[in-house]
Structure 1
Amino acid sequence: MQNQRLSPSRILEGLLFLLFVISPFYIKSSIGGTGFDLPFNISVWFAATLVIGFMLWHVASSDTITLPKNYLYLLMLPAGILLSAVIAGVVDPVTWLFRILYILAGVIFLFGLFQFKSLSVEQVLFFIVVSGLFVSIYGVVEIHQWQDFIGDWLPRSNDNLPTTIFQQVNVTASYLATAILIAIYLLFTQSANTKKLIQSLLYSTIILATYVLVSSGSRTGLLSLGLGLIFLLLGLLKSVIEHKAKFSTVIVILLLASWAGQAGFNRTADKTYKLVNAENSEARVVIYHAALDSIQSSPLVGHGIGSYKKEWLAHSPDWYEDYSTVDMPYTLGHPHNELLMWAIEGGMLAVVGILIALISTIWFIARFYGLTSLAYFSLLLPISMHTMLELPFYISSLHWFVWLFLIFVTLRNIVIDKNNQLSQMARFSIRGLSLIVGLVSSLFLLQTALAQKDIIDFVYGRTTEQPLQRALINPYFQAEARDMANRSVLYYAIENGDKQKIMQLLSQFQQELDMNPDLKLFEDVINGYEAIKDQEKSCFVAKCALKIYPWNGGLEKYIATCSRK
């Protein structure tokens, strides 16, 4: 009994509970964004580091290695991306490094799951449902603005929208849609002697998550949930017919929860109207045209990881004359479609690798499970669909690990065993490496959390003895912190009339603009020249900026004043 309780699979279940249920709820104020800009991603990666480290340790101790039968096809995804990344070169070293580590960690996590044959998949799926329940409760608090009753330690959202830990409505919606589908899946596949408490939590999650999802007005969430329900019910048709009372209960719950959150349908209808409205649909057209232009200029290996923003600025102005009245974002970091993103940054090498992995997974699952495969596809649908419309993996690392776990769920019965032919030295090295990587990663994540706090304190004007000091030595936040520090020095010099310091900073900023034509940097340079009364140069810089940011009305207005100066 003791050995079973402390078996590797039980330990992994505990670590996955930490990953899916505990770590996402490191709730701190932030300025929004992606990656480690959002504090919960830091704690998620801390838990993921423990999980991956334990997986590597276990592999080094095992006599066999279990792999999905399509493992060679799955490996085409990281292989294609890594190959294109090496050939295309390094555009942004920090982005390149973290993106590669993100993918490699995901590969180890996915393949590591197959090594734990007695892992209770249903229990871990239940963990994800519980996580969805907690997110739903947070969403209810935001919708009704109940922070006044529980304290301001929970950040408030704008317009009473449930942004929750993810600080973005659609990311919340796709996560809740996934949790709802998993809860329904468990209701129809669990054994008859499942505890009443677990069943109650499953029903509670369906109720609250549906209410929050509908209230959010997220088209992405509602559409993926609707399609997912159709796939799930078709895949579990036999079980649904056998449990008609349970099916009726689920339908009634979904309808009642949807009715309670019906105000969200008005937002959904409004968003749908805007989507088909010419101006809003044309914005997508510009994004896709610019993306295709970028792909055509380097179709095989792409432009390198981290190059999208630069490519957007290079190609989007070409479409200004045809779409000058469209309300476009001034800058863009992602084309809101993951395949397009990798086609631009990784070229056909990356895209072909992704498609091989995707198609092989669909093929193996469909052949093995038949009609039941639709139930498994339904669990993957919300997050997968979301990647084709936005950038959930960049905003939420939790989505990444949940999605990978669901892929494991679909493939866990389609496996082959191979002898572990690692030498004793290799096994010892892997164990040592797992400890070193775990320790280094934990220290880095701790320092990153402190650096993120530095950024927040600086933005909100909280007095500290050494502002941005920890952020300035952090690899992830260093560039952002340096820009903030330089900008602060510039405006301090402007306020105090320090012309020499202004000229020194302007020279530095001009050099940076050649490498990084950032809109905020253009604004700083223009304001700097304005401060020293060099209007000729300020107008020249503004005209250069408008060529790159043609939809910027503020620049147009400023240039219009140049002729009168």
Structure 2
Amino acid sequence: MNKVWQGPGRGVLALFVIWALVGQHVFIHHLGGSNLDLPFNAITWLFVGLVFIASTRALKPKWVSSELGRCFALAALVLWLPWLFALFSSAVMPGSPRYLVIDESSAAYWQALPRLLALTAGVLLFWLLQQCRFNTEQRHFLLCTLLMLATVQIGFGLVQFFVLPADNWFMFNTKVRFPYGIFMQRNVMSSFVGSGVLLALYLLVRRAGGTGREHWRWWLWCSAVAAAGLVLVVLLQSRAGLYSLLAGLCLLLPVCWMRLTNRLQRGVLLALVLCSAGAGLALLLHFDLHRRALAVYGELGVRYEIWQTTLGMIAQNLWLGVGYGQFEPAYYAEAGRLLATSGVVPAMPGNLAHPHNEILMWWAEGGVITLLAWLLLAWGVLRVGWRLSAGERLAMLALCLPLFAHLMSEYPLGHSSVHWIWLLVVVWYFDGGSAAPSAERPAPRRELEIASSGIFLAILRVGLLVVGCTTVLYMATGLQTVYQLTQYQRGQFSEPARLDAVWNPWFWGDRQALYRHSVALKAALAEQDAAAIQAYLEWSNPVIARLPRTTLLHNHVVALLAAEKFATEKFAAADALVARLQLEYPHQRLFKAPAVEQLKAQLAAGEPPRVFHNLTQPVGAATYY
């Protein structure tokens, strides 16, 4: 253990331990969503900011560089190019859909900025881990911190399933019984737990040395995590999580079998896997949860239609894409066009901000150049595998498989920053030479001299301090904003002082703006204030062009109907928008003819219609606030 806490990187290790045991498991009631709309993601990035600060001590005149690190940096730069081009060019991307005759491409591109910043921060974290120059014990210990993280989350999930009463502080729905942990989404929980199971099995056979009581304590920990995780993945009933775990076990178990020379240990390993899977299936039958598995595990459902429509968008905008941040309006415009031409009503959901496939998302928005960036990332990972021994190559693929598979069917990195950090640490571990290079696979040159190293090093340290402190400050004030806005919604939007008490006006910026303008719209409708209604439309026009959520569109239709009532008593513009929305949202009741006629009748009678305060309507088993 003494070797673990040596060297300038020990502060980074300490932060990882605190994050894995405490920080990532702090539950804060919130309003749902993705990315930084989820407070636990803000906590993750807060710790990453602290890692940036702590890693300044590890910087040296010579930095460590690897082929994978250079691929990461180049791919990140390539993914920034479409955004930078849109920022510095006044031209509008061809083929970009528009709800209104307004050029809002720049606003949509700013909407994509957090995603690019998260990508860049991850690449920077990967590079900083390389600069820490961890020894073998420290590298192994960093993987153990991930296992600590998985241990706590698996325990949290089991408590949710077996222990929590119906009326609990977490507001977990015990009738639905999908233990989503801190992630508030069972598919994300499933891929995370599956990754934890595979990591536990890998560490079980990877650790060298150790005898007696210490050896069996290690076996007990890893075995318990693997067994409990296997049970939990079965109970979660996520296709992406279960199938990827099974594939990962097929890759990893032969490696474990070959590395275990003791017959007893091999027997324990086999019994562990079989008994855990059997226990999970028995619990499914006991709680009568197997019916859903039999109903949906063999079909793709609505994802097939989403992917088909997205591929149609890509074919029409193959080279340049529809533009960063513009997937959502582009998707519904394409779906409306298909409905108008074919007459077939799609089974697509509302409020679709992602095609449930990460590669398709980037390709649809950024065109061929983003696809090339993904190919570059794949090339870097393949090169790492080529340098490893056969067993380590299979192990790396197995440990990454749940996250890679989940990327193809969902957007786990948008739901959970932990998945992004986990993936980076795993590939960093294998990239750092977990297996010694052979004569056929020589180690690449890893250290590069930096000219004017003293000045450059000082500038780099100051830059890291600024980035780290800015990240910590932004996330900390963002958590205060989360609390105020959650309390504002809990109070049925009756405490406007909450909106004035937020410390960070950019965090949840769209929510803050909607809260303020929806209150103003309700007051304007009650007072029949035409000027205030027009002011709402001026705010709403650019927002629905980049963020066509059904609640925002409903409010916009209400404001249009009210404005036209005061002006000409004709509903031409509102009816045209409603006709378009009926094509693009064929299953949404808010835009059906009876609902629109009811709105008109309410306005004619002087009754204020319903105005939404939420970006999205609450769905699913998770109660967020």
Please report the TM-score for the alignment, with normalisation by the length of structure 1: 0.89
- Could you say which residue in structure 1 is the equivalent of 2:351? 331
**Any idea what the Cα deviations from partners look like across 1:269-307, whole Å, max 9, x if unmatched?**
635643656xx64x3333123212322333233233222
Q: Which residue identity lines up with residue 185 of structure 2 in the other structure?
A: Q
Q: Which residue identity lines up with residue 420 of structure 1 in the other structure?
A: E
- Could you say which residue in structure 2 is the equivalent of 1:20? 20
Structure 1 residue 347: deviation in Å?
A: 1.5
- Could you say which residue in structure 1 is the equivalent of 2:323? 304
From 253, 256, 277, the equivalent of 1:233 is 253
2:235 is equivalent to residue 215 of structure 1: yes
From 140, 148, 151, the equivalent of 1:122 is 140
Contact 2:40–2:182, Cα closer than 8 Å, also in 1: yes
- Could you say which residue in structure 2 is the equivalent of 1:178? 195
**Any idea what the Cα deviations from partners look like across 1:346-396, whole Å, max 9, x if unmatched?**
221111121122133224313431243101111111111111110000010
Query: What does 1:118-517 align with in structure 2 at a 5 Å threshold?
Result: 118-119=134-135, 120-147=138-165, 152-157=168-173, 159-193=176-210, 195=214, 196-240=216-260, 242-262=261-281, 263-264=283-284, 270-271=292-293, 273-274=295-296, 276=298, 281=301, 283-320=302-339, 322=342, 324-413=344-433, 415-423=444-452, 424-461=454-491, 464=495, 466-471=497-502, 473-495=504-526, 501-502=532-533, 504-506=535-537, 508-510=539-541, 512-513=543-544, 516-517=547-548
Q: Partners in 2 of 1:174 and 1:31 — Cα distance? A: 23
Relative to 1, partners in 2 of residues 1:311 and 1:216: Cα closer, same or farther, differing over 3 Å?
Answer: same
Contact 2:590–2:596, Cα closer than 8 Å, also in 1: no
More displaced 10-residue stretch of structure 1: 548-557 or 261-270: 261-270
- Could you say which residue in structure 1 is the equivalent of 2:617? none
Structure with the bigger percentage of helix: 1
Relative to 1, partners in 2 of residues 1:557 and 1:239: Cα closer, same or farther, differing over 3 Å?
Answer: same
Aligned partner of residue 261 in structure 1, secondary structure: helix
- Could you say which residue in structure 1 is the equivalent of 2:607? none
Contact 1:210–1:257, Cα closer than 8 Å, also in 2: yes
More displaced 10-residue stretch of structure 1: 25-34 or 319-328: 319-328
**Any idea what the Cα deviations from partners look like across 1:408-458, whole Å, max 9, x if unmatched?**
112111553324315222211122222222222211111110111122112
Q: Partners in 2 of 1:326 and 1:298 — Cα distance? A: 22
From 78, 87, 110, the equivalent of 2:85 is 87
Relative to 1, partners in 2 of residues 1:494 and 1:264: Cα closer, same or farther, differing over 3 Å?
Answer: farther
More displaced 10-residue stretch of structure 1: 340-349 or 421-430: 421-430
Q: Partners in 2 of 1:234 and 1:550 — Cα distance? A: 50
Relative to 1, partners in 2 of residues 1:272 and 1:292: Cα closer, same or farther, differing over 3 Å?
Answer: farther
Aligned partner of residue 210 in structure 1, secondary structure: helix
More displaced 10-residue stretch of structure 1: 424-433 or 193-202: 193-202
Structure 1 residue 512: deviation in Å?
A: 4.6
Relative to 1, partners in 2 of residues 1:271 and 1:331: Cα closer, same or farther, differing over 3 Å?
Answer: farther
Q: Partners in 2 of 1:118 and 1:472 — Cα distance? A: 38
2:3 is equivalent to residue 31 of structure 1: no
Relative to 1, partners in 2 of residues 1:360 and 1:235: Cα closer, same or farther, differing over 3 Å?
Answer: farther
Q: Which residue identity lines up with residue 208 of structure 2 in the other structure?
A: S
Contact 1:314–1:548, Cα closer than 8 Å, also in 2: yes
2:139 is equivalent to residue 103 of structure 1: no
Relative to 1, partners in 2 of residues 1:482 and 1:465: Cα closer, same or farther, differing over 3 Å?
Answer: closer
Q: Partners in 1 of 2:264 and 2:469 — Cα distance? A: 51
More displaced 10-residue stretch of structure 1: 70-79 or 94-103: 70-79
Contact 1:96–1:305, Cα closer than 8 Å, also in 2: yes
- Could you say which residue in structure 1 is the equivalent of 2:94? none
Relative to 1, partners in 2 of residues 1:381 and 1:323: Cα closer, same or farther, differing over 3 Å?
Answer: farther
Identical counterparts, % of pairs: 20
Q: Partners in 2 of 1:88 and 1:447 — Cα distance? A: 30
Q: Partners in 2 of 1:174 and 1:304 — Cα distance? A: 30
Structure 1 residue 16: deviation in Å?
A: 1.9
- Could you say which residue in structure 1 is the equivalent of 2:584? 548
- Could you say which residue in structure 1 is the equivalent of 2:611? none
Q: Which residue identity lines up with residue 95 of structure 1 in the other structure?
A: Q
Q: Partners in 1 of 2:570 and 2:580 — Cα distance? A: 13
- Could you say which residue in structure 2 is the equivalent of 1:46? 46
More displaced 10-residue stretch of structure 1: 489-498 or 386-395: 489-498
- Could you say which residue in structure 2 is the equivalent of 1:68? 66
Q: Partners in 2 of 1:111 and 1:508 — Cα distance? A: 42
Structure 1 residue 108: deviation in Å?
A: 1.1
Q: Which residue identity lines up with residue 58 of structure 1 in the other structure?
A: A
Contact 1:162–1:169, Cα closer than 8 Å, also in 2: yes
More displaced 10-residue stretch of structure 1: 387-396 or 472-481: 472-481
What RMSD in Å do the two structures reach over aligned CA positions?
Answer: 3.0
Q: Partners in 2 of 1:425 and 1:464 — Cα distance? A: 52
2:135 is equivalent to residue 113 of structure 1: no
**Any idea what the Cα deviations from partners look like across 1:146-187, whole Å, max 9, x if unmatched?**
257xx9443414612111100000110111111111111111
**Any idea what the Cα deviations from partners look like across 1:78-102, whole Å, max 9, x if unmatched?**
1221223223444535433322211
Structure 1 residue 27: deviation in Å?
A: 0.6
Q: Which residue identity lines up with residue 454 of structure 1 in the other structure?
A: Q
Q: Partners in 2 of 1:488 and 1:563 — Cα distance? A: 18
Aligned partner of residue 179 in structure 2, secondary structure: coil
Contact 1:539–1:562, Cα closer than 8 Å, also in 2: no
**Any idea what the Cα deviations from partners look like across 1:114-160, whole Å, max 9, x if unmatched?**
22333422212121112111111111121125257xx9443414612
Q: Partners in 1 of 2:325 and 2:381 — Cα distance? A: 28
Q: Partners in 2 of 1:72 and 1:419 — Cα distance? A: 12
**Any idea what the Cα deviations from partners look like across 1:484-515, whole Å, max 9, x if unmatched?**
22112222444566566445434543565456
Q: Partners in 1 of 2:2 and 2:227 — Cα distance? A: 38
Q: Which residue identity lines up with residue 455 of structure 1 in the other structure?
A: L
Q: Which residue identity lines up with residue 485 of structure 1 in the other structure?
A: R
Structure 1 residue 561: deviation in Å?
A: 4.6
Contact 1:177–1:382, Cα closer than 8 Å, also in 2: yes
* Structure 2 unmatched ranges of 5 or more: 88-105, 434-442, 602-625
Please report the TM-score for the alignment, with normalisation by the length of structure 2: 0.81
Contact 2:351–2:548, Cα closer than 8 Å, also in 1: no
Structure 1 residue 40: deviation in Å?
A: 0.8
Instruction: Name the count of aligned residue pairs.
Output: 557
